[in-house]
Amino acid sequence: MAVERSVGVWVHPARPEALEAAAEFIRGISAHGIVCYLEPYRMEAIASLTPGIELRILGADTDVDLEMLTVFGGDGTILSAAAWAHPRGVPLLGVNLGHVGFLAELEAHETNSLVDQIVARDYQVEERLTLDVVVLDKIGTVMWRSFAINEMSLEKNARGHMIEASVRVDEDDLSAWSCDGVLVSTPTGSTAYAFSAGGPVIWPDVFAIELVPLLAHALFAKPMVLSPNSVIVLELTGEGQDGALVLCDGRREMAIEPDWKVRVTKHDTNLRLARLVKQPFTTRLVQKFELPTHSWRGGA
């Protein structure tokens, strides 16, 4: 007896073109006997575009062995889908309907072969480093925990004041900054917030952790690339501070108080991305940022 195949579908909540693209994908994949699971709040809209096709609910307690979770949207939609897929080890495959779309595998106009390749299992799965973020209070009690795909940021929560943050790496003091915040980024996040903050681009197959001070009032406040096995501890120091925010991927947040610590390490579970074609990261970087590959002097 053949084992039932199933894929998940995650759709941008406010883009009609994402709904249409997802519905077209579901019609195609269902014709090959593959069952589609869909998050409940998009079920009604998708069902109206796919009459007669069985759709199953993808919920927090759904226990199903999905081959992948196919995401129709931009990087923000992929990051929201990762909250479901990452702890379960389910590969993500993104169809970009956003702007830059660094995490996406395909642009919307490139989906003609998507169904055929999934049916034929003609894809590979790429592993990406992720972060484990733990917030500890003054006495070391764990107050909050989250994963991060792109980055963890410790940021001021009052516009008119900097925060005082000290940084330790592998139990050794590194520095203390008056700053707007501190980022701890993955290679995946090196083309996102960390890039905007002046950090280097790190190729995704380089397992490393990036540390980026944000607008620090200091002589030495340069981005640093650390070992993937580093233990990074950020502490909110100084009297009279208003506290700060810890944010993971700009989506999950926790307010912290003075003398609390944030411990960041490599997560035990990697992000898994499905890839349909073997495209060098250099090519992706050039395409996404529209980098000139020839001198404006015409090669002279």
Using 50, 70 and 90 to split pLDDT, how confident is the model at 283? confident
Q: What is the mean pLDDT of the chain?
A: 90
* Whether residue 98 has pLDDT greater than 80: no
Domain containing 190 — which CATH number? 2.60.200.30
The number of distinct structural domains making up the chain is 2
Q: What pLDDT is recorded for position 197? A: 94
Please check whether residues 78 and 172 belong to one and the same domain. no
Q: What pLDDT, on a 0 to 100 scale, did the predictor assign at position 240? A: 59
State the alpha helices, DSSP H only, in the chain: 16-30, 43-49, 75-85, 114-119, 193-196, 281-289
- Same domain for 145 and 99, yes or no, is no
The confidence score (pLDDT) of residue 239 equals 65
pLDDT band at residue 199, thresholds of 50, 70 and 90?
Answer: very high
Q: Model confidence at 75, in pLDDT bands (50, 70, 90)?
A: confident
Query: Quick check: 272 pLDDT over 90?
Result: yes
CATH number of the domain within which 20 lies: 3.40.50.10330
Let me know if residue 1 belongs to a domain.
Answer: no
Instruction: Write down the pLDDT at residue 2.
Output: 67
CA gap 202, 185 in Å, rounded? 10
Q: Which residues are the active-site residues?
A: 75
CA distances from 275 to 95, 105, 184, 289 (A): 11, 6, 26, 20
* Domain housing 183: 131-266
Asked whether residue 296 is assigned to any structural domain, the reply reads no
* Domain match, 120 and 137 both: no
